[in-house]
Amino acid sequence: MGTRDKIAKAQRLVVKIGSALLTNDGQGLDVARIGLWVAQIAQLRAQGKEVVLVSSGSIAAGMKRLGFSSRPTQVNELQAAAAVGQMELVGVYESHFEKHGLCTAQILLTHDDLSNRRRYLNARSSLRTLLGLGVVPIVNENDTVVTDEIRFGDNDTLGALVANLVEADVLIILTDQQGLFDKNPRDHKDAILISHALASDERLEAMASGGAGVLGSGGMLTKVRAARLAARSGADTLIASGREPDVVVRTALGESLGTWLQPEHEPLAARKQWLAAHLKSRGSLVLDAGAVRALRRAGTSLLSVGVKDAEGSFSRGDMVLCVDEQGGLVARGLVNYSVAETLKLLGKPSSSIGEVLGYQGEPELIHRDDLVII
């Protein structure tokens, strides 16, 4: 079982601070407490570690500034609050970090920035450059321009994707509870803290499905899912209380605080991680039993001979789901042919592609480098 001293050994960490913590019971930002988290991050930096901070709080800060007494429901008002509040949020961080001689940078990301491979590579390169220069990047979702369909929504997911992006060793999620309990501690006095688990343990989702607090967005469920996402690139996740004094520093010294969720598998290669996490599927392919076996056991490419049906509106290069004949998800991958071409190739050997389509493309429907087995 992995241990929390990994924080002490970690070279690169992502620290996520949630809305539930950052705000003074909905009364704007808790500036004094932000100073305490900044001091902990400064200690990590002083030990030579690179830290990316993912911080929520723009909407809560903007609400106070604009005099909204409750969280607006209209998207344009939420976006206005985020635009106003983000200014204050980064200002507070900048002034706290400055006291420790540290320089900060603001990075606002949207789903598109991470799902478009070129922009993903650009985001990765700027973050790595900033870290190399000793800067502490402060990331938030670009709430002012996102629409509902493309929102990350909660910052736990964003934190995990950033951990993937920079290949962090550890993702630390600071929230208003001591960690993940076996049930929502807000509703159950007898809830028990989970100290260690594998991020992939399916029982965690049921424990975490108790909903979010008034100020937060995703609750524990998005934190558990974030841990699973972070595990794809090999990162361990700590979910802990940001109200516990010096929680990060004490954990690094070996104290058993919070919930530690560790990866089970070897990290996926960066390209496959990106594939698994970012693209929305445009259709699906139904695989026969032989193809399912070949993909699962031998890690082969997917050939048209093993595909029985195709649906959706995908083009060459789009992401499709590969399902078995019972509808169970087997893999995701980038397909080499459009849906119209694929339908013509169903059940046919690769050697007939030239004859069926009138031109010779790749012999595989999906190359194994472009496939992620689920």
Ligand X SMILES: N[C@@H](CCC(=O)OP(=O)(O)O)C(=O)O
What is the nearest approach in angstroms of ligand X to the Cβ of residue 134? 25
What does 333 interact with, of ligand ADP, ligand X, none (CB < 5 to 8 A by kind)? none
- The span from the CA of 193 to the CA of 199, in Å, is 15
205 to 224, contacts with ligand X by CB under 6 A? 216-218
- Binding residues for ligand ADP, rule: CB under 6 A, are 18-21, 56, 156, 175-177, 180-181, 183-186, 207-208, 210-213, 216-220
H or E, element range at 14:
strand 12-17
CB 236 within 8 A of CB 229: no
> What single string gives the DSSP state of each residue in 160-181?
HHHHHHHT-SEEEEEESSSS-B
What is the nearest approach in angstroms of ligand X to the Cβ of residue 85? 7
Question: Pattern of binders to ligand X over 52-91, x per CB under 6 A?
Answer: ----xxxxx---------------------x---------
223 is in an annotated binding site: yes
What does 57 interact with, of ligand X, ligand ADP, none (CB < 5 to 8 A by kind)? ligand X
- How many residues are there in the chain? 374
What is the nearest approach in angstroms of ligand X to the Cβ of residue 120? 20
222 is in an annotated binding site: yes
What is the nearest approach in angstroms of ligand X to the Cβ of residue 141? 4
Nearest to 323 by CA among 300, 307, 337, 340: 307
Residue 99: count of CB within 10 angstroms of its CB: 11
CB 169 within 8 A of CB 12: yes
What does 167 interact with, of ligand X, ligand ADP, none (CB < 5 to 8 A by kind)? none
What is the nearest approach in angstroms of ligand X to the Cβ of residue 149? 16
Q: Which residues, in sequence order, are CB contacts of 302 under 8 Å at separation 6+?
A: 285, 287, 291, 295, 322, 331, 333, 364, 365, 366, 368, 371
H or E, element range at 371:
strand 371-373
What is the nearest approach in angstroms of ligand X to the Cβ of residue 175? 8
219 is in an annotated binding site: yes
Which range binds ligand X by CB under 6 A, 24-32, 149-157, 262-270, 299-307? Answer: 149-157
- The span from the CA of 256 to the CA of 259, in Å, is 9
- The span from the CA of 215 to the CA of 53, in Å, is 19
Instruction: Please report, as a single letter, which amino acid is at residue 299.
Output: G
Q: Which is nearer to ligand X, 242 or 306 (CB)?
A: 242
Beta bridge partners of 175: 241
Q: Which is nearer to ligand ADP, 192 or 374 (CB)?
A: 192
Q: Which is nearer to ligand X, 3 or 115 (CB)?
A: 115
Site for ligand X, rule CB under 6 A: 18-19, 56-60, 82, 140-141, 143, 154-156, 216-218
Q: Binding site residues for ATP, as ranges?
A: 16, 175-176, 217-223
Q: Binding site residues, as ranges?
A: 16, 56, 143, 155, 175-176, 217-223
Q: Binding site residues for substrate, as ranges?
A: 56, 143, 155
